[in-house]
């Protein structure tokens, strides 16, 4: 009886080992081919730097999407092109780099050791190759930084005409209009901006193009149509960060149209809605200038200029580096002169001489302190001298 049992057991053992071995071999091979090591289940991290070639040098590429096989974790490169990807299962992996406008790159056999930060290419940068349209885009933007405007225009026209379906086509169209605007060709610029709105109405550059159309009308003295375009920026793109600038330009258009009270109200609305915006300080200054020059309400002008000084003491002009405060003080002194408060005028001009000796204003090269000193001397000689005023 016992020998029969032994034979049955022996037969069972000799029929199955080969199939089990083959099954285990196949499963193990699949695990290793997929980068999984069942004997090393730990996790590691991976870091690297992504760049693109620009001439003979290299430039970091930001916002590159980084993913790796075997992990659901993803990350993106920062402004230095650097990335760090954590929680990656150990083993051989495939690293994928994706950025719009660039050729997708897959790096095979990237080995992840557990419990350390692994480096791609032993710390050497990964070079991402742009598509042809992106090459033109990068080239144009490099020219723009160098203010080589004709080269910018040529590159963007080529991009737009050669790659009309490019991700950069609307950007190219905007800058074509912008370069013409910068160069003073306002009619051509207006038409190019309008072309963007026609062919790329959903573009993220649509608000800027609408603003550009307004600028072109404004520069040619058409305040009426400029104001319409600026208002469309506010109405059609309520989330745009260009709204303060559009509001600022509306106020300037109102002033150009002789609607001085509306201009004051438009500037004041800008200050109320966007008190920290860069357009708020000059808006406050121009309220004073309107009261002074256009409405000849010198007391209101003095109050408005004082608000510019008190609320924005370190603010500078948008187009220049000069401070707004000494210009405001100068007009305060001027307003005091107009209402014949001579000593107050002298005291105000003296603030400029003492506190702003190196400042210039209104695009002039002459120091405003020199102009203030000239006014002081004139007032003293004309109105405050005992010889002119024996009662003093």
Residue 248 CA to residue 344 CA, distance in Å, equals 32
Q: Is 357 contained in some domain?
A: yes
Is the pLDDT score of 259 beyond 80?
A: yes
State residue 320's pLDDT score.
Answer: 75
Q: Is 389 contained in some domain?
A: no
Find the CATH number of the domain harbouring 81: 2.60.40.1120
In the β-sheet with 105-112, what is the strand arrangement from edge to edge? 74-76, 65-68, 91-98, 105-112
Residue 295 CA to residue 285 CA, distance in Å, equals 15
State residue 11's pLDDT score.
Answer: 40
State residue 346's pLDDT score.
Answer: 98
- Mean of the pLDDT values across residues 338-348? 97
Residues 157 and 254 in one domain: yes
Is the pLDDT score of 392 beyond 90?
A: no
The CA angle 261-265-266, to the nearest 5 degrees, is 115
Residues 74 and 140 in one domain: no
Contacts 24+ apart (CB under 8 A), 337-344: 337/375, 337/379, 338/296, 338/298, 339/298, 339/299, 342/379, 342/383, 342/384, 343/384
State residue 18's pLDDT score.
Answer: 54
Find the CATH number of the domain harbouring 271: 1.25.40.10
Q: Give me 179's structure tokens.
A: 């370069």
Ordered alpha helix ranges (H), the chain: 2-15, 17-33, 132-145, 149-162, 169-182, 186-199, 206-219, 223-236, 243-256, 260-273, 280-289, 298-311, 325-338, 342-355, 368-379
Q: Is 322 contained in some domain?
A: yes
For residue 58, the enclosing domain spans 43-127
Quote the number of domains for the chain: 3
User: Closest by alpha carbon to 66, among 131, 116, 110?
Assistant: 110
Q: Report the sign of the C-alpha dihedral through residues 106, 111, 114, 119, in that order.
A: negative
Residue 392 CA to residue 389 CA, distance in Å, equals 6
Cβ(200)–Cβ(169) under 8 Å?
yes
pLDDT in tens, 8-50: 334 434 454 555 555 555 555 555 555 444 444 699 999 999 9
Task: Give percent of the chain above pLDDT 90.
Answer: 82
Q: Is 7 contained in some domain?
A: yes
- Mean of the pLDDT values across residues 132-139? 93
Q: Is 390 contained in some domain?
A: no
Q: Is 170 contained in some domain?
A: yes
Cβ(260)–Cβ(290) under 8 Å?
yes
Report the predicted TM-score, pTM, of the whole model to 2 decimal places: 0.75
Residues 89 and 199 in one domain: no
State residue 12's pLDDT score.
Answer: 39
Residues 243 and 346 in one domain: yes
State residue 4's pLDDT score.
Answer: 40
Residues 236 and 264 in one domain: yes
Q: Is 199 contained in some domain?
A: yes
Residue 131 CB coordination number (10 Å): 16
Residue 384 CB coordination number (10 Å): 15
Q: Is the pLDDT higher at 366 or at 107? A: 107
Q: What are the Cα distances from residue 302, in Å, to 75, 97, 237, 273?
A: 55, 60, 36, 23
pLDDT in tens, 165-194: 999 999 999 999 999 999 999 999 999 999
pLDDT in tens, 262-301: 999 999 999 999 999 999 999 999 999 999 999 999 999 9
State residue 30's pLDDT score.
Answer: 52
* Phi and psi at residue 179, to the nearest 5°: -65, -40
Is the pLDDT score of 220 beyond 50?
A: yes
State residue 22's pLDDT score.
Answer: 58
Residue 206 CA to residue 344 CA, distance in Å, equals 50
Residues 256 and 325 in one domain: yes
Residues 58 and 73 in one domain: yes
Q: Is 38 contained in some domain?
A: no
Cβ(326)–Cβ(343) under 8 Å?
no
Residues 6 and 77 in one domain: no
Residue 227 CA to residue 170 CA, distance in Å, equals 25
Q: Is the pLDDT higher at 12 or at 105? A: 105
Residue corresponding to tokens 């933007």:
141
Q: Give me 7's structure tokens.
A: 């034979």
State residue 13's pLDDT score.
Answer: 44
User: Closest by alpha carbon to 208, among 182, 235, 246?
Assistant: 246
Residues 311 and 334 in one domain: yes
Residues 63 and 9 in one domain: no
| HSE-up of residue 267 (Cα within 13 Å, Cβ side) | 24
Residues 252 and 355 in one domain: yes
Residues 160 and 276 in one domain: yes
pLDDT in tens, 119-134: 999 889 999 999 999 9
């Amino acid at each position: 009886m016992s020998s029969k049992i032994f034979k049955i057991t022996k037969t069972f053992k000799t029929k199955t080992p080969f199939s089990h071995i083959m099954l285990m071999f196949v499963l193990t091979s699949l695990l290793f081919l997929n980068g999984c090591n069942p004997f090393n289940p730990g996790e590691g991290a991976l870091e690297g730097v992504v760049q693109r070639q620009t001439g003979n040098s290299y430039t970091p590429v930001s916002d590159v999407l980084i993913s790796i096989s075997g992990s659901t974790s993803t990350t993106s490169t920062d402004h230095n092109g650097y990335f760090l990807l954590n929680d990656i299962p150990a083993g051989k992996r495939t690293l994928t780099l994706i950025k719009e406008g660039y050729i997708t790159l897959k790096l095979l056999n990237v080995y992840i050791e557990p419990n350390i930060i692994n480096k791609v290419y032993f710390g050497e940068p990964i070079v991402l190759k742009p598509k042809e349209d992106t090459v033109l885009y990068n080239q144009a933007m490099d020219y723009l930084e160098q203010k080589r405007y004709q080269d910018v225009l040529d590159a963007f026209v080529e991009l737009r005409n050669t790659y009309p379906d490019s991700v950069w086509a609307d950007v190219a169209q905007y800058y074509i209009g912008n370069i013409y605007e910068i160069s003073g060709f306002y009619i051509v610029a207006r038409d190019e901006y309008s072309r963007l709105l026609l062919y790329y109405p959903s573009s993220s550059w649509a608000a800027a193009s609408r603003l550009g159309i307004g600028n072109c009308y404004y520069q040619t003295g058409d305040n009426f149509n400029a104001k319409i375009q600026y208002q469309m920026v506010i109405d059609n793109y309520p989330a745009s960060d260009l709204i303060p600038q559009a509001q600022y330009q509306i106020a300037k258009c109102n002033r150009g149209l002789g609607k001085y009270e509306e201009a004051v109200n438009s500037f004041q609305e800008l200050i109320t809605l966007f008190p920290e915006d860069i357009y708020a300080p000059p808006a406050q200054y121009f309220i004073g200038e309107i009261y002074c020059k256009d409405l000849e309400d010198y007391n209101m002008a003095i109050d408005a200029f004082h608000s510019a000084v008190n609320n924005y003491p370190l603010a500078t002009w948008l187009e220049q580096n000069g401070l707004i405060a000494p210009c405001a003080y100068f007009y305060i002194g001027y307003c005091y002169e107009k209402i014949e408060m001579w000593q107050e005028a002298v005291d105000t001009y003296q603030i400029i001489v003492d506190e702003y000796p190196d400042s210039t204003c209104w695009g002039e090269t002459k120091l405003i302190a020199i102009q203030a000193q000239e006014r002081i001397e004139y007032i003293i000689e004309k109105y405050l001298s005992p010889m002119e005023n024996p009662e003093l």
